[in-house]
Structures are given as structure tokens and as C-alpha cells.
Structure 1
Amino acid sequence: MGLPAGVGLGAVLAVLLPVGAVTLLLRALPFSFLRLLKGSPLIEFLGAAMPVGVMVVLVVYVVAGASGTTGGVPVALMCALATLALHAWRRSTVLSIVGGTALYMALVNLVL
């Protein structure tokens, strides 16, 4: 598979190199501010609140989006509750995520 007609290697590199450099800089830029923000009450609050907030948004998104899928909202809610129970029981993030996902996949593909 080659380049499209009329597009040379120089043109591809002229696009990819600046895009790659900007992407790298944008990903590295936040880490340059870590020393300035270390000990900031706002950053400490975000560090504590963001993981929980992200998980809540993901659960709401999955449950709300399950209305058009096999099993629908009841299966999604049941699997979310099973994931929560598994995490409360073992306190293992990996185990609870894998267990909840496996239960959902089993219910949707094997049972329903």
C-alpha cells in the first residue's frame, strides 16, 4: 500500500513531524507545572475527587446507554451492583472491574 497519487514522502513528513511535535509537547506540558502546583489545595481536592467523579460518569453513561441493548438497563444495573459488591468484598479494583465485565458479557452473550 503506497502513498496516494500526487502525495510525496516530503509532504507526508511535512504534516506528520509538526503534528507529532505538537502532540508530544501538549502531552508533556502539564507535567512541567507539577512543581508549581504541588501542595495546592485545589490540586489535592481534584486528586481525591476526580477518580470517583469519573467512575460515576462512566456508570451513568453505561446504564443510560444500555436501554437499546440486549438485556437493557436491568442487566446493566445488576452488573454495576455486582461490581460494587465485589469491590466492597475484596477491595481489588482489577478484580471488581474484570468480574463485573465478565458477568455483563456472560449475561448478554450466553444467557440473554
Structure 2
Amino acid sequence: MILAVISPLFIVTVALRALPFNLLRYLKNSEFMTVLGRTMPVGVMTVLVVYTWYGQRESPGGFVAVAIAVAATYLLHKWRRDVGLSILGGTITYMLLVNLVF
């Protein structure tokens, strides 16, 4: 009886983990993946900014700390065009503002 429960769970788990890798070969050179590659970073950053602004309304620093950190992220990205540096710089700016200033 235990085997009757575990077997389908095992099959579903393995299938769900293998499915993305099997589909990747069909999507690798598609126009969909090209568009997704161009738009996904902007979409992710937009969701993170909106989530941060909404979630930090009543936190120490509130809107001011978030606005300064977003501005720092924007300026770093305009200056160096390095996504990692922009995200790290904005995060450090926000953490410093919240923990040391406000």
C-alpha cells in the first residue's frame, strides 16, 4: 500500500524536474526565448521595486530610504551598466540608510 502511494509521487516528481530540461531544446532558438531574455530583467527589477516600496511603507526610513536606494541603483546602472553592481549598490545603500540613519 505504501508503494502504491510512493510510486506515483516519485514519477510525478521526476517528471516535473525533467520536463523543463526536455522542453529547453525546443525553445533554445525560438523568438519567444529571445523576447523573454530581453524583457525578463526589466520585469524582475520592476516587481522588486514595487514590492519594496509597498512593503516598506511603515518600516524605519519608509518611502524616503527606498526612494534614495532606488535612485542610487538607477545612477549606478547608468554610470557602469553593470546589473550586479547596481543591485548590490542599491541594496547596500538601503541597508545603510535603514540601519544607520533612520
Q: Match of 2:45?
A: 55
Higher relative contact order (CA 8 A, sep 6+): 2
TM-score computed with the length of structure 1 as normaliser:
0.73
| Deviation larger for 79-88 or 32-41 | 32-41
Q: Match of 2:84?
A: 94
Q: Unaligned stretches of 5+ in structure 1?
A: 1-14
Q: Which letter does structure 2 place at the counterpart of 1:92? A: D
| Structure 2 residue 13 is the aligned partner of structure 1 residue 32 | no
Take 1:105 and 1:58, find their aligned partners in 2: how far apart are those partners? 15
Q: Which letter does structure 2 place at the counterpart of 1:93? A: V
Q: 1:46 aligns with which of 26, 32, 36?
A: 36
The percentage of counterpart residues that share the same residue type is 52
| Structure 2 residue 90 is the aligned partner of structure 1 residue 84 | no
Aligned length: 99
Q: Which letter does structure 2 place at the counterpart of 1:34? A: L
Segments ≥4 residues shifted beyond 3 Å: 15-25
Take 1:73 and 1:16, find their aligned partners in 2: how far apart are those partners? 50
Q: 2:58 aligns with which of 34, 56, 68?
A: 68
Take 1:28 and 1:77, find their aligned partners in 2: how far apart are those partners? 42
**Offset of 1:57 from its aligned partner?**
0.8
The root-mean-square deviation of aligned C-alpha atoms, in Å, is: 2.4
Q: Aligned with 2:92: secondary structure?
A: helix
| Deviation larger for 69-78 or 18-27 | 18-27
1:71-99 deviation per Cα after TM superposition (whole angstroms, max 9, x unaligned): 11121011011111011111222222221
Q: Unaligned stretches of 5+ in structure 2?
A: none
Q: Aligned with 1:68: secondary structure?
A: coil
